[in-house]
Structure 1
Amino acid sequence: MNRSEFLQRYHHLRQIDYEADYPLRKTGRAAGVLIPLIDHPDGLTVLLTERAHHLRHHPGQISFPGGGAEPQDNTLADTALREAEEEVGLLRSEVDVIGALPEYRTISGYAMTPVIGFVKPGPVLTIDRNEVADAFEVPLAFLMDRRNHFAHFIERKQQRYPVYFMPWQNRLIWGATAAILRNLSSHLCDD
């Protein structure tokens, strides 16, 4: 899928059924994450990060660049772009923001807004090793193919929740990152 095909499918007018998020008792901490789509001539890829292994929360987990909103952020898109620059050196000027997915609440108390942006191939990344162990690309076609989505169900407070998984090479994309990618796939699927 290329940029033009992505935009055509993403901006359609049909109703989308999103994956259920985690119902929070109070308003979650606002966060913005960036879904950076690298626009290669042979198809789009998604830039993901592996969180640093020394972090207290979610060490080694695969995620999007992003984090909690700060007072200087005017919007959650600003948050996502600021965090992407801090974590992997992806400059705001290198990202063409085209939209966002609905807020996704997490069990850890965040209300994340996934911001979608196109990036030209070959961005020069400068990884902040205090936050990120690695950054890598995964073909969008792989992530959007529901045959690569797996679910495990957990029970919490007498409610059943799916936890999605997407194995990619020697990595496991799971949790909120996988659920957000699954929600994106709802925009792009053919049915």
Structure 2
Amino acid sequence: MKTMLKEQFSSSLIDHIRSMLLQFAPWKSSHSENLKQAAVGIILVSADDGSNEICFLLTLRCGKLRSHAGQYALPGGRGDQGENSVDTVIRECMEEIGLQLSADQVLGTLDLYATQSGYAITPVVFAVAGEPEFSLNPSEVEQLFRIKLSDFTGERSAQFFSQEEGGPLLIRFPIFDHHIHAPTAAILYQFVEVVAGRYKQVDNLAAPDFATR
């Protein structure tokens, strides 16, 4: 997995990721239709440090938001009436970070993730070639980062633990001096495993109580 995650952004790597997503049919829970529908984007771009390594976009949410304030998150949000998951990510990316996406950039989707707060999140993977343009909405996003997939290896691989004895299994990724928690961490964990040719079901991975607010 480490070698694959360190590869440069290229058409061959994008084709590989697309083929891996096609091999693993997304899983959806039987009760997902009763949950509030949402979608997030795993937006793949090249690194801007000269390495051209493959990265994904990660936001730091505004500290004044009513929910999940100051947390790291993938671009996305709740779906509007009549939208599918692709439509939602395209709209939310424009609203949050000023990035124009199109449906022909979609590589596939991951498993639906049901959150503790009653949302059914569909992760949609996009690939953006070239140098994208951004315009952050300060009422929603404080910062935007390009995170290399290779940063999720070694000491920064996924960490699993329990909040209390007998409680649900939690997941987090170390980032900067903080952590990414579920649902974002669970979604990203499944994605890096799929890139490596493995399937990991992640619906059993929860977030700590403070990250659900």
TM-score normalized with structure 2 length: 0.75
Pick aligned residue for 2:157 from 130, 133, 148? 148
Contact between 1:16 and 1:186, CA under 8 Å: does it hold in 2? no
**How far apart are the structure 2 equivalents of 1:22 and 1:162?**
19
**How far apart are the structure 2 equivalents of 1:80 and 1:7?**
21
Moved more, 90-99 or 45-54: 90-99
Code of the residue aligned with 2:189 in structure 1: it is R
Q: What secondary structure is seen at the aligned counterpart in 1 of 2:124? A: strand
Which residue does 2:37 correspond to in 1?
30
Pick aligned residue for 2:183 from 151, 171, 176? 176
Contact between 1:88 and 1:126, CA under 8 Å: does it hold in 2? yes
**How far apart are the structure 1 equivalents of 2:178 and 2:29?**
24
Note the C-alpha offset of 1:129.
1.1
**How far apart are the structure 2 equivalents of 1:161 and 1:10?**
32
Which residue does 2:208 correspond to in 1?
none
Q: Alpha-carbon deviations, 1:40-98, whole Å to 9, x = none?
A: 5622011100110011211111001000010252x111001100110000112497111
Pick aligned residue for 1:82 from 75, 91, 94? 91
Give the number of the structure whose residues are more often strand, by fraction.
1
Q: What secondary structure is seen at the aligned counterpart in 2 of 1:8? A: helix
Which residue does 1:104 correspond to in 2?
113
Code of the residue aligned with 1:33 in structure 2: it is V
Contact between 2:26 and 2:111, CA under 8 Å: does it hold in 1? no
Contact between 2:18 and 2:108, CA under 8 Å: does it hold in 1? no
Note the C-alpha offset of 1:152.
2.3
Contact between 1:24 and 1:109, CA under 8 Å: does it hold in 2? no
Which residue does 1:49 correspond to in 2?
59
- Go from structure 1 to structure 2 and tell me whether the alpha carbon gap of 1:45 and 1:71 turns closer, same or farther (over 3 Å shift): same
Q: Alpha-carbon deviations, 1:81-133, whole Å to 9, x = none?
A: 10011000011249711111111111111100000001134322111111111
Code of the residue aligned with 1:173 in structure 2: it is I
Taking the TM superposition and a 5 Å limit, the aligned residue runs for 1:48-67 are 48-67=58-77
Report the identity percentage.
29
- Go from structure 1 to structure 2 and tell me whether the alpha carbon gap of 1:26 and 1:8 turns closer, same or farther (over 3 Å shift): closer
Which residue does 2:4 correspond to in 1?
none
**How far apart are the structure 1 equivalents of 2:82 and 2:125?**
21
Q: How many equivalent pairs are there? A: 186
Over the residues paired in the alignment, what is the CA RMSD in angstroms?
Answer: 3.2
Contact between 1:31 and 1:112, CA under 8 Å: does it hold in 2? yes
Unaligned 5+ runs, structure 2:
1-6, 199-213
**How far apart are the structure 2 equivalents of 1:14 and 1:26?**
24
Q: What secondary structure is seen at the aligned counterpart in 1 of 2:133? A: coil
Unaligned 5+ runs, structure 1:
none
Contact between 1:22 and 1:107, CA under 8 Å: does it hold in 2? no
Q: What secondary structure is seen at the aligned counterpart in 2 of 1:187? A: helix
- Go from structure 1 to structure 2 and tell me whether the alpha carbon gap of 1:62 and 1:147 turns closer, same or farther (over 3 Å shift): closer
Q: What secondary structure is seen at the aligned counterpart in 1 of 2:123? A: strand
**How far apart are the structure 2 equivalents of 1:53 and 1:144?**
29
**How far apart are the structure 2 equivalents of 1:120 and 1:79?**
21
Give the number of the structure whose residues are more often helix, by fraction.
2
